Amino acid sequence: MEKELKRNILLGFFILVGIILFITGIFLIGSKSEIFKKTFPITAKFSNAIGLKLGSNVRYNGVKVGIVKSVDLINDTLVQVDMSIEEEKRHFIHSNAIASIASDGLMGDKIVNIIAGKGGDKQVKDNDLLVAHNPLNTDHVLETLSQSNENIKVITDNLKTLTSEINSNNGPVQLLYKNPEMAKQLKHSFSNLDAITSKVLNVSATLQQLTSQIQKGNGALNTMINDTALANNISYTFDKLKATSDELIKASGNLNQTIQYANSGKGTLNMLLTDTTFAATVQQSMANIKKASIGLDENMEAMKHNFLTRGYFRRQAKKNKNKSKTTGQ
Protein backbone atom coordinates (compact mmCIF):
# COMPACT_ATOMS: atom_id res chain seq x y z
CA MET A 1 0.00 0.00 0.00
CA GLU A 2 2.81 2.33 1.03
CA LYS A 3 4.74 1.40 -2.08
CA GLU A 4 1.72 2.13 -4.22
CA LEU A 5 1.28 5.51 -2.52
CA LYS A 6 4.91 6.39 -3.19
CA ARG A 7 4.51 5.38 -6.80
CA ASN A 8 1.40 7.51 -7.17
CA ILE A 9 3.07 10.53 -5.50
CA LEU A 10 6.02 10.15 -7.85
CA LEU A 11 3.69 9.79 -10.82
CA GLY A 12 1.72 12.87 -9.76
CA PHE A 13 4.95 14.87 -9.44
CA PHE A 14 6.09 13.63 -12.84
CA ILE A 15 2.84 14.61 -14.54
CA LEU A 16 2.64 17.95 -12.73
CA VAL A 17 6.18 18.93 -13.68
CA GLY A 18 5.44 17.92 -17.27
CA ILE A 19 2.31 20.07 -17.35
CA ILE A 20 4.13 23.01 -15.73
CA LEU A 21 6.87 22.76 -18.34
CA PHE A 22 4.27 22.72 -21.08
CA ILE A 23 2.38 25.71 -19.70
CA THR A 24 5.65 27.61 -19.19
CA GLY A 25 6.62 26.89 -22.78
CA ILE A 26 3.22 28.00 -24.04
CA PHE A 27 3.40 31.17 -21.94
CA LEU A 28 6.90 32.00 -23.16
CA ILE A 29 5.91 31.46 -26.78
CA GLY A 30 2.77 33.53 -26.17
CA SER A 31 4.76 36.37 -24.62
CA LYS A 32 7.03 36.44 -27.67
CA SER A 33 4.02 36.38 -29.97
CA GLU A 34 2.32 39.27 -28.11
CA ILE A 35 -0.66 37.06 -27.22
CA PHE A 36 -0.96 38.03 -23.57
CA LYS A 37 -0.31 41.74 -24.12
CA LYS A 38 -2.84 44.46 -24.84
CA THR A 39 -2.38 45.63 -28.38
CA PHE A 40 -3.82 48.07 -30.91
CA PRO A 41 -4.01 47.76 -34.72
CA ILE A 42 -2.29 49.92 -37.32
CA THR A 43 -1.94 49.50 -41.06
CA ALA A 44 0.49 50.24 -43.85
CA LYS A 45 0.18 49.71 -47.58
CA PHE A 46 3.16 48.55 -49.58
CA SER A 47 3.67 47.96 -53.27
CA ASN A 48 5.63 44.82 -52.46
CA ALA A 49 5.52 42.80 -49.23
CA ILE A 50 7.93 40.09 -50.28
CA GLY A 51 8.85 37.73 -47.43
CA LEU A 52 6.46 39.31 -44.94
CA LYS A 53 4.10 36.85 -43.27
CA LEU A 54 1.76 36.41 -40.37
CA GLY A 55 3.66 36.78 -37.10
CA SER A 56 6.61 38.69 -38.59
CA ASN A 57 8.09 41.13 -36.12
CA VAL A 58 7.34 44.84 -36.14
CA ARG A 59 10.17 46.99 -34.83
CA TYR A 60 10.19 50.66 -33.94
CA ASN A 61 13.68 52.09 -34.35
CA GLY A 62 14.98 48.53 -34.00
CA VAL A 63 13.01 47.60 -30.86
CA LYS A 64 10.28 44.97 -31.16
CA VAL A 65 6.88 46.59 -30.60
CA GLY A 66 4.49 44.17 -32.26
CA ILE A 67 3.76 41.60 -34.91
CA VAL A 68 2.19 41.42 -38.36
CA LYS A 69 -1.42 40.28 -38.13
CA SER A 70 -2.23 39.90 -41.80
CA VAL A 71 -0.81 40.48 -45.27
CA ASP A 72 -3.53 40.97 -47.90
CA LEU A 73 -3.53 41.99 -51.53
CA ILE A 74 -6.05 44.84 -51.84
CA ASN A 75 -5.62 45.65 -55.54
CA ASP A 76 -3.26 44.94 -58.40
CA THR A 77 -0.52 47.19 -57.03
CA LEU A 78 -0.98 47.39 -53.25
CA VAL A 79 -0.55 45.00 -50.35
CA GLN A 80 -2.15 45.89 -47.03
CA VAL A 81 -0.18 44.88 -43.95
CA ASP A 82 -2.10 44.95 -40.67
CA MET A 83 0.04 45.12 -37.56
CA SER A 84 -0.67 44.60 -33.90
CA ILE A 85 1.34 46.98 -31.71
CA GLU A 86 1.79 46.79 -27.93
CA GLU A 87 -0.43 49.33 -26.19
CA GLU A 88 2.37 50.43 -23.88
CA LYS A 89 4.46 51.46 -26.92
CA ARG A 90 1.69 53.61 -28.42
CA HIS A 91 2.99 56.91 -27.04
CA PHE A 92 6.30 56.44 -28.87
CA ILE A 93 4.69 56.06 -32.27
CA HIS A 94 3.35 59.15 -33.99
CA SER A 95 0.94 59.25 -36.89
CA ASN A 96 3.64 60.55 -39.26
CA ALA A 97 5.88 57.55 -38.58
CA ILE A 98 7.19 55.73 -41.66
CA ALA A 99 6.85 51.96 -42.09
CA SER A 100 9.26 50.02 -44.27
CA ILE A 101 9.99 46.37 -44.91
CA ALA A 102 13.47 45.31 -43.85
CA SER A 103 15.45 42.15 -43.16
CA ASP A 104 16.18 40.89 -39.67
CA GLY A 105 19.90 40.41 -40.22
CA LEU A 106 21.56 39.45 -43.47
CA MET A 107 19.74 36.12 -43.84
CA GLY A 108 16.88 36.79 -41.49
CA ASP A 109 13.13 36.98 -41.88
CA LYS A 110 11.45 40.07 -43.23
CA ILE A 111 10.19 42.54 -40.65
CA VAL A 112 8.26 45.79 -40.65
CA ASN A 113 10.50 48.56 -39.40
CA ILE A 114 8.81 51.75 -38.22
CA ILE A 115 10.86 54.89 -37.93
CA ALA A 116 9.87 58.28 -36.55
CA GLY A 117 8.72 60.87 -39.09
CA LYS A 118 10.14 64.40 -39.31
CA GLY A 119 8.79 66.84 -36.77
CA GLY A 120 6.42 66.14 -33.91
CA ASP A 121 2.96 64.86 -34.62
CA LYS A 122 0.08 63.48 -32.62
CA GLN A 123 0.12 59.98 -31.17
CA VAL A 124 -0.92 57.16 -33.46
CA LYS A 125 -4.56 56.03 -33.17
CA ASP A 126 -6.22 52.66 -33.71
CA ASN A 127 -6.31 51.57 -37.38
CA ASP A 128 -4.16 54.54 -38.46
CA LEU A 129 -2.54 54.20 -41.86
CA LEU A 130 1.19 54.77 -41.67
CA VAL A 131 3.21 56.20 -44.52
CA ALA A 132 4.89 53.27 -46.22
CA HIS A 133 8.38 53.38 -47.58
CA ASN A 134 8.54 50.67 -50.19
CA PRO A 135 11.33 48.15 -49.84
CA LEU A 136 14.48 48.17 -51.90
CA ASN A 137 13.90 46.26 -55.08
CA THR A 138 16.17 43.22 -54.98
CA ASP A 139 16.00 42.89 -58.76
CA HIS A 140 17.29 46.43 -59.11
CA VAL A 141 20.09 45.69 -56.66
CA LEU A 142 20.98 42.54 -58.59
CA GLU A 143 20.91 44.47 -61.85
CA THR A 144 23.32 47.05 -60.42
CA LEU A 145 25.48 44.26 -59.09
CA SER A 146 25.48 42.62 -62.49
CA GLN A 147 26.62 45.89 -64.06
CA SER A 148 29.33 46.24 -61.41
CA ASN A 149 30.42 42.69 -62.12
CA GLU A 150 30.75 43.46 -65.80
CA ASN A 151 32.85 46.52 -64.95
CA ILE A 152 34.97 44.43 -62.62
CA LYS A 153 35.42 41.89 -65.41
CA VAL A 154 36.67 44.61 -67.77
CA ILE A 155 39.01 45.91 -65.07
CA THR A 156 40.35 42.44 -64.31
CA ASP A 157 40.84 41.80 -68.04
CA ASN A 158 42.86 45.00 -68.26
CA LEU A 159 44.81 44.01 -65.18
CA LYS A 160 45.41 40.59 -66.68
CA THR A 161 46.76 42.17 -69.87
CA LEU A 162 48.89 44.53 -67.83
CA THR A 163 50.33 41.81 -65.64
CA SER A 164 50.99 39.57 -68.65
CA GLU A 165 52.82 42.46 -70.29
CA ILE A 166 54.76 42.99 -67.10
CA ASN A 167 55.61 39.29 -67.00
CA SER A 168 56.56 39.11 -70.67
CA ASN A 169 60.29 38.83 -71.36
CA ASN A 170 60.52 42.05 -73.36
CA GLY A 171 58.38 44.12 -71.09
CA PRO A 172 59.97 47.18 -69.50
CA VAL A 173 59.28 46.01 -65.96
CA GLN A 174 60.69 42.56 -66.70
CA LEU A 175 63.71 44.21 -68.28
CA LEU A 176 64.18 46.31 -65.22
CA TYR A 177 63.71 43.27 -63.03
CA LYS A 178 66.11 41.03 -64.95
CA ASN A 179 68.74 43.52 -66.22
CA PRO A 180 70.97 44.65 -63.35
CA GLU A 181 72.75 47.17 -65.58
CA MET A 182 69.50 48.98 -66.26
CA ALA A 183 68.69 48.95 -62.61
CA LYS A 184 72.09 50.50 -61.90
CA GLN A 185 71.49 53.16 -64.53
CA LEU A 186 68.11 53.87 -63.11
CA LYS A 187 69.63 54.13 -59.66
CA HIS A 188 72.26 56.50 -61.03
CA SER A 189 69.54 58.55 -62.74
CA PHE A 190 67.66 58.75 -59.53
CA SER A 191 70.75 59.91 -57.63
CA ASN A 192 71.28 62.56 -60.33
CA LEU A 193 67.68 63.56 -60.04
CA ASP A 194 68.16 63.79 -56.32
CA ALA A 195 71.18 66.07 -56.76
CA ILE A 196 69.27 68.23 -59.25
CA THR A 197 66.36 68.44 -56.92
CA SER A 198 68.61 69.61 -54.09
CA LYS A 199 70.11 72.24 -56.39
CA VAL A 200 66.70 73.36 -57.49
CA LEU A 201 65.79 73.62 -53.88
CA ASN A 202 68.83 75.81 -53.22
CA VAL A 203 67.97 77.99 -56.19
CA SER A 204 64.45 78.24 -55.02
CA ALA A 205 65.64 79.27 -51.56
CA THR A 206 67.91 81.88 -53.06
CA LEU A 207 65.11 83.19 -55.25
CA GLN A 208 62.85 83.34 -52.28
CA GLN A 209 65.50 85.31 -50.37
CA LEU A 210 65.96 87.62 -53.32
CA THR A 211 62.28 88.28 -53.73
CA SER A 212 61.92 89.00 -50.04
CA GLN A 213 64.83 91.41 -50.27
CA ILE A 214 63.25 93.06 -53.29
CA GLN A 215 59.99 93.38 -51.44
CA LYS A 216 61.64 94.86 -48.38
CA GLY A 217 64.45 96.98 -49.95
CA ASN A 218 64.51 100.40 -51.73
CA GLY A 219 66.53 99.39 -54.80
CA ALA A 220 65.73 99.98 -58.44
CA LEU A 221 63.93 96.68 -58.84
CA ASN A 222 61.66 97.40 -55.90
CA THR A 223 60.97 100.86 -57.34
CA MET A 224 60.23 99.25 -60.69
CA ILE A 225 57.77 96.89 -59.07
CA ASN A 226 56.13 99.29 -56.65
CA ASP A 227 56.39 102.76 -58.29
CA THR A 228 53.40 103.25 -60.58
CA ALA A 229 54.81 106.50 -62.10
CA LEU A 230 57.93 104.67 -63.12
CA ALA A 231 55.82 101.92 -64.51
CA ASN A 232 53.97 104.53 -66.61
CA ASN A 233 57.25 105.99 -67.77
CA ILE A 234 58.53 102.56 -68.65
CA SER A 235 55.33 101.89 -70.48
CA TYR A 236 55.67 105.19 -72.36
CA THR A 237 59.29 104.38 -73.16
CA PHE A 238 58.30 100.97 -74.39
CA ASP A 239 55.63 102.57 -76.56
CA LYS A 240 58.20 104.89 -78.01
CA LEU A 241 60.60 102.05 -78.46
CA LYS A 242 57.88 100.18 -80.25
CA ALA A 243 57.22 103.17 -82.55
CA THR A 244 60.93 103.55 -83.20
CA SER A 245 61.19 99.88 -83.84
CA ASP A 246 58.34 100.12 -86.32
CA GLU A 247 60.11 103.00 -88.07
CA LEU A 248 63.32 101.05 -88.07
CA ILE A 249 61.51 98.08 -89.55
CA LYS A 250 60.12 100.36 -92.23
CA ALA A 251 63.54 101.94 -92.86
CA SER A 252 65.11 98.53 -92.88
CA GLY A 253 62.53 97.45 -95.41
CA ASN A 254 63.34 100.45 -97.63
CA LEU A 255 67.02 99.83 -97.21
CA ASN A 256 66.49 96.24 -98.06
CA GLN A 257 64.60 97.28 -101.16
CA THR A 258 67.36 99.68 -102.12
CA ILE A 259 69.97 96.99 -101.54
CA GLN A 260 67.97 94.57 -103.60
CA TYR A 261 67.73 97.15 -106.33
CA ALA A 262 71.41 97.76 -106.07
CA ASN A 263 72.11 94.02 -106.14
CA SER A 264 69.95 93.59 -109.19
CA GLY A 265 72.65 95.21 -111.32
CA LYS A 266 70.72 98.35 -112.19
CA GLY A 267 71.42 101.96 -111.17
CA THR A 268 74.37 104.03 -110.26
CA LEU A 269 74.92 102.69 -106.81
CA ASN A 270 75.42 99.14 -108.11
CA MET A 271 77.83 100.54 -110.71
CA LEU A 272 79.56 102.42 -107.96
CA LEU A 273 79.87 99.33 -105.86
CA THR A 274 80.70 96.77 -108.52
CA ASP A 275 82.34 98.67 -111.45
CA THR A 276 85.91 99.54 -110.46
CA THR A 277 86.48 101.64 -113.64
CA PHE A 278 83.44 103.74 -112.82
CA ALA A 279 84.65 104.09 -109.27
CA ALA A 280 88.04 105.26 -110.47
CA THR A 281 86.32 107.72 -112.84
CA VAL A 282 84.14 109.01 -110.00
CA GLN A 283 87.19 109.32 -107.79
CA GLN A 284 88.98 111.26 -110.55
CA SER A 285 85.89 113.43 -111.05
CA MET A 286 85.74 114.13 -107.33
CA ALA A 287 89.42 115.16 -107.36
CA ASN A 288 88.76 117.43 -110.34
CA ILE A 289 85.68 118.90 -108.58
CA LYS A 290 87.81 119.57 -105.51
CA LYS A 291 90.43 121.22 -107.63
CA ALA A 292 87.78 123.21 -109.48
CA SER A 293 86.22 124.20 -106.21
CA ILE A 294 89.56 125.55 -104.94
CA GLY A 295 89.86 127.48 -108.19
CA LEU A 296 86.32 128.76 -107.84
CA ASP A 297 87.04 129.94 -104.30
CA GLU A 298 90.04 131.86 -105.57
CA ASN A 299 87.93 133.39 -108.36
CA MET A 300 85.23 134.36 -105.91
CA GLU A 301 87.78 136.01 -103.64
CA ALA A 302 89.15 137.84 -106.65
CA MET A 303 85.66 138.95 -107.55
CA LYS A 304 85.10 140.31 -104.05
CA HIS A 305 88.09 142.59 -104.55
CA ASN A 306 87.18 143.59 -108.06
CA PHE A 307 85.78 147.13 -108.29
CA LEU A 308 83.00 145.99 -110.62
CA THR A 309 81.52 143.28 -108.39
CA ARG A 310 82.70 144.43 -104.96
CA GLY A 311 79.51 146.53 -104.44
CA TYR A 312 77.26 143.53 -104.92
CA PHE A 313 79.05 141.49 -102.27
CA ARG A 314 78.95 144.31 -99.78
CA ARG A 315 75.15 144.70 -100.27
CA GLN A 316 74.69 141.00 -99.82
CA ALA A 317 76.70 141.03 -96.57
CA LYS A 318 74.67 143.93 -95.27
CA LYS A 319 71.35 142.19 -96.14
CA ASN A 320 72.45 139.04 -94.33
CA LYS A 321 73.46 141.03 -91.27
CA ASN A 322 70.01 142.70 -91.12
CA LYS A 323 68.28 139.40 -91.59
CA SER A 324 70.21 137.81 -88.72
CA LYS A 325 69.35 140.75 -86.46
CA THR A 326 65.59 140.35 -87.10
CA THR A 327 65.76 136.63 -86.48
CA GLY A 328 67.70 137.19 -83.18
CA GLN A 329 65.02 139.53 -81.90
Partner 1 sequence: MAIVRKVKTVFSKSLDDFFYGIAELAQFSVNVFKEGLRPPYEFKEVLNQCYEIGIKSFALVGVTAFILGLVLVMQSRPTMIQFGAGSYLPAMSSISIVREIGPLVTALICAGKVGSGISAELGSMKVTEQIDAMEVSGTNPFKYLVATRILATTLMIPILTIYADFISLIGAFVGSNIKDNINIYFYFNRVFEALHYTDVVPSFIKTFFFGFTIGLVGCTKGYNSKKGTEGVGKAANISVVMAMVGVIIIDMVVTQITSMLGYL
Strands 98-103 and 110-115: antiparallel
Closest to partner 1 by CB, 106 or 229: 106
Closest to partner 1 by CB, 26 or 230: 26
CB of 28 vs partner 1, minimal distance in Å: 4
Closest to partner 1 by CB, 1 or 229: 1
Q: Are 47 and 74 in contact (CB under 8 A)?
A: no
Closest to partner 1 by CB, 19 or 292: 19
Q: Are 133 and 100 in contact (CB under 8 A)?
A: yes
The count of C-alpha atoms lying within 13 angstroms of the C-alpha of 259, restricted to the half-sphere facing its C-beta, is 6
Residue-wise DSSP of 207-253: HHHHHHHHHHS-SHHHHHHH-HHHHHHHHHHHHHHHHHHHHHHHHHH
CB of 89 vs partner 1, minimal distance in Å: 17
Binding-site ranges for partner 1 (CB under 8 A): 4, 7-8, 10-11, 14-15, 18-19, 21-22, 25-26, 28-33, 55, 105-108
CB of 107 vs partner 1, minimal distance in Å: 5
The count of C-alpha atoms lying within 13 angstroms of the C-alpha of 302, restricted to the half-sphere facing its C-beta, is 6
Provide the residue type at 322 as one letter: N
Closest to partner 1 by CB, 18 or 311: 18
CB of 25 vs partner 1, minimal distance in Å: 7
CB of 10 vs partner 1, minimal distance in Å: 6
β-pair partners for 86: 39
CB of 26 vs partner 1, minimal distance in Å: 7
**Neighbour-count burial of 305, counting CB atoms closer than 10 A to its CB (0-12 exposed, 13-18 middle, 19+ buried):** exposed
Closest to partner 1 by CB, 57 or 100: 57
CA dihedral sign of residues 119, 122, 123, 127: negative
